[in-house]
Structure 1
Amino acid sequence: MSFGDPNNPYGQPQQPPQQPGYGYPQQGGQQPYGYPQQPPQGVPQQPGYGYPQAPQAPAGYGYPQQPGYGMQPPYASWGQRFLGTLVDILVFVPAYIIIGIGGGTKIWALVGIGYVAAIGIAIWQLIREGRTGQTVGKQALGIRLVKEIDGQPLGVGFAFVRRLAHFLDSLACYIGWLWPAWDPKRQTFADKVCSTIVIRTN
């Protein structure tokens, strides 16, 4: 006669049902706490919090964005370049006046001061153009000299080389100075040799 459990006639103690340990997957497709949830198929995955996202390429080509231009730089016209050069020439007028007065009165000290002033203005303009792409005249006309490859200023040394290259524009009856009037990139011969362009800034 058995006094125990009719389902356990031998009296052996029953073991409680085992639960899956921490970190083990449960039956029925459920995942334990702490495991990343997999998104359903067909749903695009989004980068999670704290994950680095791929950097986006900067817009433009190093040039200021202008409506309607897209990736093409907004080239300065021949008229803008001419007027900018004219303003740069006018900047030297005070030095020329001092030289003229000194030469007319035989006061050679004034002539020397005038030449020193002219050289100082030329160096100052070169530094401005190399560092910012703008002389006084270019800034007044809203244009800038930049490298064609990346739209950045030339640097003082390369800006000086470009000025030396302007002798090419004076060959063949100064045709190089007029070339931007019909050239697709509005370049002089010096610009083509040095791979530079002049663009509008506004």
Structure 2
Amino acid sequence: MSFGSPNNPYEKPQNPQNPQQPPQQPGYGYPQQPPQSQQPGYGYPQQAPPGVPPQQGYPQQQGYPQQPGYGYPQAPQVPASAYGYPQQPGYGAQPPYANWGQRFLGTLVDMLVFAVPYILVIVGANAKTAILSVIGGLALLGLAIYQLIIEGKNGQTLGKKALGIRLVRESDGQPLGVGMAFVRRLAHFLDSLACYLGWLWPAWDAKRQTFADKVCSSIVIRTN
């Protein structure tokens, strides 16, 4: 084996397998890349040299559905009961509308509640007793305000509560609020037009609504 040429004994020997190409020394220049068969596939993190942070894989291409557990979390399904409607068997997402008979009986109970202070007003006026008329008038006013407040906040007057029905918004099933409940009472004058047709409309309407309910986007549902 020759360790150099005769002219230069310190010359490094050439690679016997490829005399035209000097042997590559480890540690000099850039690191050698692995063969094509050893490179990792696309989408998987590649192994980096020590001290170099690993590169992230390729992001998911557009047009391909995301698998469960990857990417963005899926939005949870909101049950129908979250909108305020009672979940009852056989109804599904459709609210259980109160029929015309239930609404009529609930209104009748409310009228009977107002009958007691109204009788005091009539008796006091006929007997010319001012004290009875004042007591009856204040009782009527206080009862009307009380009925309006509980109907706006809870959706139930005394008559509706006795019949197991509730007044709610059509959009989300929540109570109307005191202000909107007052507007609905004013809108009842539409129900009295044309021979009180609006009061009878819930008997055949698909959502059991009066004209005032349609104007205020309200419905009456059963609670039991």
TM-score by length of 1: 0.73
Residue in 2 that maps onto 1:59 = 80
In structure 1, stretches of 5+ residues that fail to align are: 1-24, 26-43
1:31-110 pair list within 5 angstroms: 55-60=76-81, 61-110=83-132
Paired position in structure 2 for 1:124: 146
The CA distance in 2 between the partners of 1:110 and 1:46, in whole Å, is 74
- Among candidates 107, 112, 115, match of residue 137 of structure 2: 115
- Counterpart of 2:156? 134
Per mean C-alpha deviation after superposition, the further-off stretch among 57-66 and 151-160 is 57-66
The one of 149, 162, 165 aligned to 1:143: 165
Taking only the aligned residue pairs, the percentage that are identical comes to 73
**1:54: Cα distance to partner?**
5.3
Give me the TM-score of the superposition, normalised by structure 2.
0.66
Q: State the Cα distance separating 1:98 from its structure 2 match.
A: 1.4
Q: Which structure has the higher relative contact order (CA within 8 Å, separation 6+)?
A: 1
Q: SS in structure 1 opposite 2:143?
A: helix
Report the Cα distance in structure 2 between the residues aligned to 1:171 and 1:100, rounded to whole angstroms. 28
- Cα RMSD for the two superposed structures: 2.2
Aligned to 2:182: 160
SS at match of 1:171: helix
Tell me what 1:185 maps to. 207
Alpha-carbon spacing, 1:57–1:104, altered in 2? closer, same or farther (3 Å) = same
Structure 1 moving runs of 4+ over 6 Å: none
The Cα offsets for residues 122-151 of structure 1, whole Å up to 9 and x where unpaired, read as 000000000000000000000000000000
Gaps of 5+ in 2: 1-46, 48-66
- Within 2, Cα distance between the matches of 1:184 and 1:199? 13
Distance 1:54 1:182 in 2: 39
Larger radius of gyration: 2
